[in-house]
Amino acid sequence: MNLRRRTVLGAAGASLLAAPALAQDYPNKPLKMIVPYPPGGGTDGLGRITAQFLSEKLGQQIVIQNVGGASGTIGSEIVRRAEPDGYTILFNASLFVLGKTVVPSCPYDPQTDFRAIAQAGEAPLVMLANNNVPGDDYAATMAAVKADPKKFFVAISSGGSAGHIATLAWLKRIGIPLDQILYKGTAPANTDLMAGSVQFFMDPWTALLPLATSGRAKGLFVTSKERTPLAPNIPTSGEVGLKDFNLSSWYGVWAPKDTPEPIVNKLAAGMAAVSGDKGFIDKTTSLGIVPTGRGPKEFAAFIKSEVETNTALLKEANFKPE
């Protein structure tokens, strides 16, 4: 009996020693980074840039695998079920952390079923107005909206998206209950905004700024603390009177929840080096993305705060996910 007990304890001790040994060797083969959306979108674009620079820091190739479908849950579920050895990681956007709040069929809890590695960057938002909306600036436009709010509609690119959350926060701030129209993506919302079927649309500026700079829509404000050189004529939210209204879409890297701490630390160190790399900063800044570099603990705390705040906003708005 005593001999058997020692054997079991010995095996357990060996497994505990195996994780540091594995991490010393890690990574010794290519990694797979799953982006749970089709190629060509904003999440995919930043994911590829991040993979390029992270592979340099880790000294191993990182292969991007796009697995779209079900609002990103299919690809994310593959990572959840993957071996927690650091060779399969997830690159996803802020919508991911809301889980069942926005996707009822979501098979996982984003906070407990994954290990937050690092936040890669964030993209502030821009509020656009159709060119026929009255007013030459935000104040004049808001005066027109207050005078007859039933004439104005706000587009939402997708339920629970950064733009949706920001729109709810904006409507709460201005105290005007404008009707919202829910779309399946940014492109159809843009089309209806330019056509005048909806009058306002707020979403990450990576996709919307070209409409403002080309004159196809009016840029009322951006949610960054400072004006962007990509559209220097558009004022910040603070400049138009929306104090501390600095919401954004953000992106990060996750691993399966049981990934050993030494491997998490190596991935996090690699991402920290990426966020400080001048090449990465130049490349992302040119796209309107601000590198952030939050590590595991800070990122996990940030996610917890985001989930609490955004879930409350959605609940207050009686949002019912489909």
Q: CA–CA separation, 90 vs 311, rounded Å?
A: 23
| pLDDT score at 23 | 66
Tokens matching residue 190 = 């843009």
**What is the enclosing helix (H) or strand (E) of 128?**
strand 114-129
| pLDDT score at 42 | 84
Q: Note the pTM of the prediction, 2 decimals.
A: 0.86
* 18 class by beta-carbon count within 10 Å (0-12 exposed, 13-18 middle, 19+ buried): exposed
- b/e per residue 210-238 (b: at least 16 CB within 10 A): ebbeeeebbbbbbbbeeebebbeebbbbb
CATH topology of domain 14-123+249-316: D-Maltodextrin-Binding Protein; domain 2 (3.40.190)
DSSP-based helix, strand, coil % in the chain, nearest 5: 45, 20, 35
Q: Sign of the C-alpha dihedral, residues 217, 176, 169, 226?
A: positive
pLDDT tens digits, 109-160: 999 999 999 999 999 999 999 999 999 999 999 999 999 999 999 999 989 9
The CATH code for residues 124-222 is: 3.40.190.10
Domain limits, the chain: 14-123+249-316, 124-222
62 bridge partner residues: 31
- Cα torsion 29, 33, 38, 40 to 10°: value is -90
Tokens matching residue 306 = 């985001």
| pLDDT score at 184 | 85
| pLDDT score at 311 | 96
| DSSP 8-class letter at 236 | B
pLDDT tens digits, 166-194: 999 999 999 999 999 999 888 899 999 99
- Other CB atoms within a 10 A radius of the CB of residue 305 amount to 10
Q: Assign residue 319 a region: left if phi > 0, alpha if psi is -120 to 50, beta otherwise?
A: beta
Q: Give the three-state DSSP class for 269.
A: helix
- Residues whose CB is less than 8 angstroms from the CB of residue 308 and which lie 6 or more positions away in sequence, other chains included: none
Amino acid at 146: K
Q: Does this chain's domain 14-123+249-316 share its CATH topology with 124-222?
A: yes
| pLDDT score at 211 | 96
Contact, 126 vs 162, CB < 8 A?
no
Pairing status of strand 179-182 against strand 88-93: unpaired
- Other CB atoms within a 10 A radius of the CB of residue 196 amount to 12
Residues of the chain with pLDDT under 70: 1-23
CA angle, corner 98, sides to 261 and 174, nearest 5? 130
Q: CA–CA separation, 98 vs 295, rounded Å?
A: 20
| pLDDT score at 20 | 58
Q: CA–CA separation, 11 vs 15, rounded Å?
A: 6
Tokens matching residue 261 = 């701490």
Q: CA–CA separation, 247 vs 127, rounded Å?
A: 12
